[in-house]
Amino acid sequence: MLKNLRRAGDGNEGRSMQFLRARVPESIQQIREAAEGVMRDIKHMFGVKTLLNTEDRRVLEQIIFPHFLNDQSFRSILFVGCDWYTRDYNNIFEAQKKYITLDPDLGKRKYGAKQHIPDKLQKLDRYFNSGSLDLILCNGVYGFGLNNASEIEQAFQACFDCLREGGVFVLGWNDIEGWCPFPLHHSKSLALFKPLFFPPLKTDVYVTDTSYGHTYNFYVKCYFWSQNLKCLSITRFGR
Ligand SMILES: C[S@@+](CC[C@H](N)C(=O)[O-])C[C@H]1O[C@@H](n2cnc3c(N)ncnc32)[C@H](O)[C@@H]1O
C-alpha cells in the first residue's frame, strides 16, 4: 500500500487513489478474517466449540453423525474437506472410531484429524485398500473445489472402490443454480451405488430447510446393485 501511496506523486494521482480506495476495503476484510481466525484458534485452545449455526449443520451434527456414531458396524470413517467449523468433529469421532480427514489444501491441515491426508479425493485409492472404509462423509466439496466432471467421476469412483460392501457414502451439496458443476444423475460412478433409505430422516435424499437447498444424498455400496448395472449396460450398450 505504501508503494502505491508514493506512486501518487508521479502524475498518476487519480488512478493511484482509485486503486487505493478499491484496495482498502479488501485489506480491511482480510485483516478482519485473520483476526476472526485468531479468535477461533484461541477459543479452540480453551475448548470452546467453533461450529456453524445453520439448519444443514444441525441435520449433519445432530441427526446424521449420531446415527453412525452409535452404529458399531461403522468403524473406519473418512471425512472429506476440513475447515474451522469442522475441527470439533475430530474429537467427537476420534473418541469412538478410526477417523480420517482429507483435504488437498495444506492450509486446512490444522483443522484435520490426527490421521489426515493432504490430497484430493480423486487420489483416495493411493491411501486405502479396496473395501477398507465403512463410511465416507463428503459434505460441501462437490461444487466447492470438486467442480470438474472428470474429477468428480474419479472422486466418486475412488469412494466406491475404497468402501466395503455395505459401506455408506453421504454426499452433502447445495442444490442451487451455479453450485452444481455437473448433474449428479449423469454420474456413472455415483450410479454404481444403491440409494440408501436413511431411517432417521426417512428418505434417501433429504433437502434441508436452507436458502441454498443444502441436500444430503445417502448411498450404499451393494455388490448385486452394481453388478446388475454392469449387466444392464452390457445388454443395452453392448459393452
Ligand atoms: C466448503 S469446504 C467444506 C468443508 C467441510 N467438508 C464441510 O462439511 O463443510 C470445501 C473443502 O473441500 C476441499 N476440496 C476442494 N477440492 C477437493 C478435492 N478434489 N478433494 C477433496 N477436498 C477438496 C477444499 O480445500 C475445502 O477445504
Assigned architecture for domain 55-230: 3-Layer(aba) Sandwich (3.40)
**Grid coordinates of 57:** 449443520
pLDDT, one tens digit per residue, over 17-65 is 565 566 666 777 778 777 877 778 777 777 767 777 899 999 999 999 9
Q: Whose CA is nearest to atom 26 of ligand 1?
A: 81
Listed in sequence order, the residues at least 6 apart from 44 whose beta carbon sits closer than 8 Å to its beta carbon are 50, 87, 88
pLDDT, one tens digit per residue, over 129-171 is 999 999 999 999 999 999 999 999 999 999 999 999 999 999 9
Q: For strand 133-139 and strand 163-174, is the pairing parallel, antiparallel, or unpaired?
A: parallel
Ligand 1 in contact with 57 (CB < 6 A)? Answer: no
Alpha-carbon distance of 155 to 161, in angstroms, equals 10
Q: What are phi and psi of 109, to 5 degrees?
A: -55, -40
- pLDDT at 78 (0 to 100): 98
Q: What is the mean pLDDT of the chain?
A: 87
What's the pTM value of the predicted model, to 2 decimals? 0.84
DSSP 220: E
DSSP 123: G
Alpha-carbon distance of 37 to 29, in angstroms, equals 12
pLDDT, one tens digit per residue, over 73-122 is 999 999 999 999 999 999 999 999 999 999 999 999 999 999 999 999 99
**Grid coordinates of 89:** 468433529
* 57, 65, 144, 159: residue to mutate for ligand 1 pocket, most atoms within 8 A of CB: 144
- pLDDT at 180 (0 to 100): 87
Evaluate if residue 186 carries a pLDDT over 70.
Answer: yes
Listed by start position, the domains of the chain span: 2-45, 55-230
